[in-house]
Structure 1
């Protein structure tokens, strides 16, 4: 969820670190959630294969 506080943090991050670093962090955060879901699916599949 985007709030004024998160916008301020992003603007500060971009101003201090540069645009490429801010985009990289943003993508890592998004991909982390998807990787966690993928890991859970793989573990469930392995459990079903063992049965």
Structure 2
């Protein structure tokens, strides 16, 4: 917390809050990107449904 006070005094409170929120969002976006990149592999390994054979 003591490290934030000089930064707030230099650039202002809104700028510090913006950088903090961007940092938090960046970590969450990295997690989403990783999940999306692994999606094709998980879809190949575990199909979400089974196809039914038609009985004629």
TM-score range relative to shorter protein:
0.7 to 0.9
Unaligned runs of 5+ in 2: 46-56
Unaligned runs of 5+ in 1: 1-6
CA RMSD of aligned residues (A): 1.5
Normalising to structure 1: TM-score of the pair?
0.74
Task: Pick the structure with greater CA Rg.
Answer: 2
Normalising to structure 2: TM-score of the pair?
0.68
For residue 35 of structure 1, report the CA deviation from its aligned partner. 0.5
Count of aligned residue pairs for this structure pair? 45
Higher relative contact order (CA 8 A, sep 6+): 1
